[in-house]
Structure 1
Amino acid sequence: MIQFPRFMSAFVPPRPEPLPAPAGNAPTLQPAPQPRPFGPVSAFDSTPVPASNLHTERLGDGSANCLEKAVGLARPGDSIVLMRDASDGVGHALVRRPDGSVVDPNHPTVRYETLGQWQAMHPRYSQPVPVPASKMQQVLSTPPGPQREALIQKLGLSGVADRQVADGERWATPKTEGNLNVRSGPDTTYADIGDQWPGDAMQVLEQEGSWLKVKLKDGSEGWVYEPLTKATEAPPPPPPPYESPIPRWMANGTCPPDIEMHVWNALPKESRAESIQTAREKVVAENWPMPEFDVNGPPPASVDSLVWDHLPPEGKESLFRQEWQAAVREQTALIFNGVPEGGAVAEHPFLGVDSSLGNGQVGEWLDNALQVGSAAQYIDLEKALGPGWRQIHYNLCGPLAVGASLGMSPKEALTAFAATSAGILNGGGTTTATPLETVYEARGWTTGYTSGAASMPAPEDMARMLEDGKALIALVNIDTKGADGMLSLFDDSTKAVAHWVNVRAVEDNGKGGWTVRVYNPFENREEIYSWEDFEASWGKNGGLVPSTEVEGEFVFRFNAGHGLLVATPPPPDAATSP
């Protein structure tokens, strides 16, 4: 489940602390107490894991440090990279895959693209020494002693065998509800410099008596009273810095690295432009792989259904490929040449290559429409779902956006929503996030909904979510009159309406600009916006909604801006509902 930061309550009763020494004459100065390791009275499990090296490390001895963890994570062909810590000489062990990516045993689910990327986030580590994981496994599988020493010599590892590694980080968090004071020194007489709350992870640097010196999330340091804390796991690291898949030469349309400059300059201008365009389309096509062709599927958006029905299978497949290639060319132009202000409607929707989604009022959208020419999401539910359902419904954007993210036709999407929220569907009103989450959860997905500027993810974060297979449903503002249902700034809208859309892609152009492709159920189409235009419509959405009744009258409020439903699919082997 994706969680975004939320603000804590403004007031929580403080935790008790030991009382300060009574006032009076200044006490005689005593030597400062020596730091002590975590002992039996500590809330922590054990002393820090001691440093070890290839001579001394024992597998399975109950003190698994980073070296043992790295060996356990390694696969055939991997290397164990031994790093030196500039602060104390005791380093760290990493796993490097054959493709150059790196895994840190402290956070094994996080993948770093390169060792340099990991080092940029951990600048105190340097001097990497790679050792084949197979050799490391051989050495550590042999008990310390003469036999291991002989093996170290035989494998040529004498030069790295003395390198010390350890994984002795300790983390603490407040033990119970309430704030924990952070002080400038190890006593209540020192100034209170901040607070920590349950769930806040603090890295323990040292201990003096009952006080822990800790490093906080923002990098500052202070002291907390140890009996009011408990051990916790290290927090996950922040995501690696975003690296654009678009190389600079491609973004700027300059000489590719595999062509010498004098050769490039000698090419005709048209040839250079064609070369750049081909490279750009290749990158876009990798992000939008062509779906499998289904001879019984609906026609692409550019092909009339009557013509399609009379084509032989090979003719249908040829047009299918042409439509996909046209969609790639269109997306390439929008990413690299820029999206028009106010957004653009996709003439070649990727969804529409192999479905009726994104193609406007066609197929089921026409069969179940209130009337020809009405907004595509204005559907007669009695036509779509059968007798007993209301005929007129204008507020179906939520179920249809969720359905599109799951690859459903409109009838399939409405049927799925009816199975869990029939009352809402037959009531004709608007849909909040909760019933939309239920549709995903019935299929084994996990969900989370956030709103407000503080929880708004950056474009690169949304791109990562989509790359991980998550579905994103955003609550935006559309203008149903002045902009034909396009996403629009609330203050510029002729008729502002709060509206659910499915965010299909968030892509960058290699120069800091981002495009956002959404599926908009209002007219059943894909639309592309600059990040700035998308964010403007996302920040404040239309339609004042009743909040609470005060003295017989409703008090109205706006929907919270930046509403985002994030749905995470179940593991591939998990059993899900149909």
Structure 2
Amino acid sequence: MAIRVSNESPSAAQAAAEAARRAAEEAARRAAEEAARRAAEEAARLAAEAASSAQGSDAFTSTSTPQGPSLSGETVPAEGSSLLIENTGDGSVNCLDGVGDVLAQAAPDELARSEVLFLTDTRPGAEGETGHVVIHQGDHIYDPATQQWSESADYLRDHPEYQVAGTVPGEVVHSILSAEPGLARQAALEQANLPPHLAQMVVADVGGGLPEPRWLEQGSRPPWFNAAEWNHLVPEDKAAILDEIRADWASHVEAMEPPWMREGTAPPPLSEDWDQLSPEQQQERALSQWEATVQEELAFYFGEIPEGGLPAEEPLLLSTNGAPWGQGMSGEWATYHQEGQDPIAQYLNTGLILGGEGDDYTHGNLCGELSVMSVVGLGIAEGLQNFNALGLTTQDGTAILSDGEALTNSTHLEEFFRQNGWQVVGEDGDGNAPAMKDLNGGHSAANTYNNNHAREPTSEEVQRLLADGGALTVLVNIDGAQDGMLASAGDSADDITHWVSVLAVSENAQGETYVRVYNPYQNREEVYSWEEFQNAWNTPSPSEQGYTYVAARPPETSTDAP
């Protein structure tokens, strides 16, 4: 008997093949799910063991760390995390924490419209070892690292280092992160049935870390690096160079940190309403100010200092000694500025400060006193009253402050430092604080015409003195026609001999040296190349040849005897 086969119907062989294919696909799917489940169980077991080990090591020692910038400029260190092991309440801040917080606070309709993008990081080195997550909602993307919304197209264009690995509905991610890490989290992941590469993806991009220039964020060539040489490097060598740049930047910021950050103490008053703030608000404001200072320093460290220097908008002294240092005509500087007087911050109504209402007169040469006060941390009224009480062999403090044109030399400033307990360079110390070396490495500074002079000081010698805990006040030339900016005596239109304090001498990312000074002329900090600073310091006036300075060390500072 013949069998007729319809063209529309599969043959028995075809049907069998199709059934076998489907069976193979189903078996592969089940095998993949089983592998993912076992991997998840193993990761959960290891995480639980690690947590148990950490808790058992010392039941009386807290392992939590307060959030905020640390010595390296990061928040609490955040290791790589994933949907399986992320604990949003552990105090460690990463992108999953940020996404989880936003989803947890979202209204139901917002949550329904949200999806989480899982991004792989294509950068070489440590940056590319973990991915990143952001929230996609309509035409916008929220990045938890910056805590800002951006147009989706703009965000993806500005971050070519990221590639979308997959998306997960926001409701699903919220449900997973809401479950406690461990068995409950594992069950939530199994119910979500995510692709394994998303369920197990490790992410760790952290908000609140050190700012970086865009080329460093994207793992690109440093601007000063020869393009041809860079292109010939293998990815590993490029990554090593970028990682070293990041490490040097972190070390630079660490060296800048004010004492209250290093020691965990309360920050200094940063505003007139400081006492009205709670300790938490004070800490928040101080951290915000510090972050602004670091952000500005980014431009100094990775950029070029323009010829003639430039003022710093975010003063280091503000974070170290509090307001109103470095903030121009504000606070006490405004209170004690006589109406109608030239708009120069250091022109203060000394008569009002010392004699009270009705005893008004402006002193025009307070740069030495103010430079020392900025270092010691005295307020305007307190500091000038302190100087007024000096009994000097040549001219006492009262005589200097009562004469609106009287100048100060290094002898006056040294005595001012001593009155506040500081040790002056070259003086004999004790067993805990040996004699302080001068800029040239000796213990006896030459004293000519009542001023100390260094012999061709190098930037390394100044760095050494500052790193030893010393303060350095130097006599420079400023240009009155250029708002008191430093300039060599031969280059300025209005030469003025002037005291300033050196706050930091640093090398930028390109190995060039720059100097940050506090200049009381307009109560601000300024940044110069080492060469321009040295030229202004070298010959401040025809009567003062050489590098004139006063160096001192606070009483609590001690160094090893040389």
Query: Shorter-chain TM-score category?
Result: 0.3 to 0.5
User: Larger strand proportion, structure 1 or 2?
Assistant: 1
Q: TM-score, normalised by structure 2?
A: 0.47
Larger Rg: 2
Q: TM-score, normalised by structure 1?
A: 0.46
